[in-house]
Structure 1
Amino acid sequence: MLYEGGVEMDKSKGNYKGIFFVALSALFFSLNSVFAKIAMQNSNYSGIVMAFGRFIVGFVIFLAYVVFKKKNLKPNNMKYIILRAIFNALTIIFFFISVQFTTITNANMLNMTYPVFVFLMAPYMNNEKVKKIYYSFLILTMIGYYLIVFPDFNSINKGDVAGLMAGLMAAFAVSFLREARKQDESYLIMFYLMLIGSIITFIMVVSNLEIPTPMVAFYIFFSALMGVLGQLFITIGYRYVDSATGALVASSRIIFGVILGVSLFSEMLSLRIIVGGILIMISLVGVSGILYKYLHNAEKSL
């Protein structure tokens, strides 16, 4: 059984709650990339500056929360909180570099390759068993990814490479999040994540910082806000789902990315992209357990 606020909660309800929060985080992460892309198109800022904006806004928000609520900042296990923060910072840096040099669709899709690595890491880093049927959903997901990106192996886009690196770093970040969440609360993980991320990215951009125009500042702020909300919801979501389930549910981000990329940036939408999206959605339905529950209830009613 799961517990929330000291109240016993049914495991299946907790699982659906976790799926909801992780899926919601995927939407906010997609909007995060959209606002960042617009900001970079209207300025000379790099992806690393976008990453710094996201972390510093998040740090201010969680610092205010900690002060207002008079929260304790002493973690039970600092090791996993620090590891989570470092790998998350690397994920965000690579992701915004990807957004800078490739399409919104590709950036979000390549970042979402991390379920592959999470599946490989879960038994060793989180001591979690992975259901064999999940590998079938994983195969469908990866086919969907390929159809959406359809990479040209004759030339290498550095934005696509950065996207793949973001996916690899995200797998480590998710695995460490799962361990950190077992011992510490969401606000504590988020506070140190934003603090350490702010320090790392500030060191990288301090020599090139300049005051943005009001319009660019607006887009940077909303990019950061969407990213912070996405980070908060995924942190809450992983309290209720295991790493593998959370990773695949988070794949809905690629669907949001495609929709936003096509509608706002006129990115190409073809039959293979549509088919890829359908395959990913099938995987999400499968891993959520909704189909199994429906079939089980139907069987009981016979």
Structure 2
Amino acid sequence: MGIFCILLSGLCFTGMNTFVRLSGDLPTMQKVFFRNFVAMIFAFVMMVRKKDSFRPKPGNMKYLLIRSVGGVAGMVGNFYAIDRLDLSDASMLNKMSPFFALVFSAIFIKEKVRPKQAIAIVVAFLGALCIIKPTFANANLFASVCGFLGGMAAGGAYTCVRYLGLRGENGRLIVFFFSAFSSATMLPFLLFNYHYMTWQQWATLLLAGACAAGGQFSITAAYTHAPSREISVYDYAQVIFAAVVGYLVFGDVPDVLSFVGYAVICGMALWMFFYNRKADGTAPAKKV
């Protein structure tokens, strides 16, 4: 179940990123608002249909807030990078989030990280540097750093999702709370810096929001049903989806260093996945 959910989330988030970029030259905050507002409506309707409570379980409010702050920061960084980098570059920098989720899970919820896993995290960081290319000659350096920091923030958010799942919180409430929080956070930026949108831009942002809702529900289900070490490798399927869509839709062709970075990060993810299977003696995902 966890594997299926995380693959589905990759497809949905690739669709979201594509529609966000197709929406054109709009402020990042405006894109974030509409993406989350649509997702909030989807989550609200699903909660009403399921007759879910909108009240978090005792003690979970602070973790919902932390998850939401991290999610907003991650999304702003990701959207900023999407508008300025190749789609696959932006997606790969955001896919540093599983490595950060592993680190944060070890620190805050005491999920064990073995020495070889720590090595994989360090090497993956070096792979990210190949994509970022931290030199003053890189005109997209700031966008690359924003994408990387967005991945870090998203990793923290997914750690909170995992912890909330362990505490028995409803996944639909997690999605609704995050979407409502991020919409409220972005509203002042929208009011003071609103840019007129054509009907095509309205359509692309509505589709981005619909894809985001599917992605949020899928990834929330994945991280609440399985530890990050069991499913994180499958999250990298999104980079493949993004590379194909980026080439077909936008004509994106990453440079050699970016491909080296992809290979390093994906290689470390695969190595960590198979190492975990061997060390734990378990199947790649839990049945639920």
**Secondary structure in 2 matching 1:251:** helix
Report deviation, 1:85. 1.3
Q: Distance in 1 between matches of 2:260 and 2:137?
A: 24
Residue of structure 2 aligned with 1:52, choices 33, 40, 43:
33
CA contact (8 A) 1:118 1:244 kept: no
Q: Deviations over 1:246-289 (max 9, x none)?
A: 44432332232222222221122455555544444444444444
Q: Structure 2 vs 1, CA of residues 249 and 100 (structure 1 numbering), >3 Å: closer, same or farther?
A: same
Residue of structure 1 aligned with 2:253, choices 258, 261, 268:
268
Q: Distance in 1 between matches of 2:3 and 2:102?
A: 17
5+ residue gaps in structure 1? Answer: 1-16, 297-302
Structure 1 equivalent of residue 6 of structure 2: 22
**Secondary structure in 2 matching 1:75:** coil
**Equivalent position amino acid for 1:177 in 2:** V
**Equivalent position amino acid for 2:70 in 1:** F
Structure 1 equivalent of residue 241 of structure 2: 256
Residue of structure 2 aligned with 1:216, choices 186, 197, 201:
201
Query: 1:98 aligned to 2:92?
Result: no
Report deviation, 1:117. 2.8
Residue of structure 2 aligned with 1:234, choices 213, 216, 219:
219
Structure 2 equivalent of residue 7 of structure 1: none
Query: 1:175 aligned to 2:146?
Result: no
Structure 2 equivalent of residue 110 of structure 1: 93
Report deviation, 1:110. 1.7
Q: Structure 2 vs 1, CA of residues 141 and 262 (structure 1 numbering), >3 Å: closer, same or farther?
A: farther
**Equivalent position amino acid for 1:75 in 2:** P
In the superposition, the TM-score normalised over structure 1's length comes to: 0.80
Structure 1 equivalent of residue 150 of structure 2: 166
Residue of structure 2 aligned with 1:73, choices 36, 51, 54:
54
Q: Distance in 1 between matches of 2:94 and 2:276?
A: 27
Q: Structure 2 vs 1, CA of residues 179 and 96 (structure 1 numbering), >3 Å: closer, same or farther?
A: same
Q: Structure 2 vs 1, CA of residues 290 and 131 (structure 1 numbering), >3 Å: closer, same or farther?
A: closer
Q: Distance in 2 between matches of 1:130 and 1:193?
A: 28
In the superposition, the TM-score normalised over structure 2's length comes to: 0.84
Answer with 1 or 2: which has the greater Rg: 1
**Equivalent position amino acid for 2:225 in 1:** Y
Q: Deviations over 1:181-213 (max 9, x none)?
A: 122010111111111111001122212335522
CA contact (8 A) 2:229 2:276 kept: no
Q: Distance in 2 between matches of 1:132 and 1:124?
A: 14
Report deviation, 1:221. 1.1
Residue of structure 2 aligned with 1:122, choices 95, 105, 119:
105
CA contact (8 A) 1:91 1:170 kept: yes
Q: Structure 2 vs 1, CA of residues 230 and 172 (structure 1 numbering), >3 Å: closer, same or farther?
A: same
5+ residue gaps in structure 2? Answer: 282-288
**Equivalent position amino acid for 1:168 in 2:** M
Q: Deviations over 1:60-89 (max 9, x none)?
A: 111112223321111112111121112111
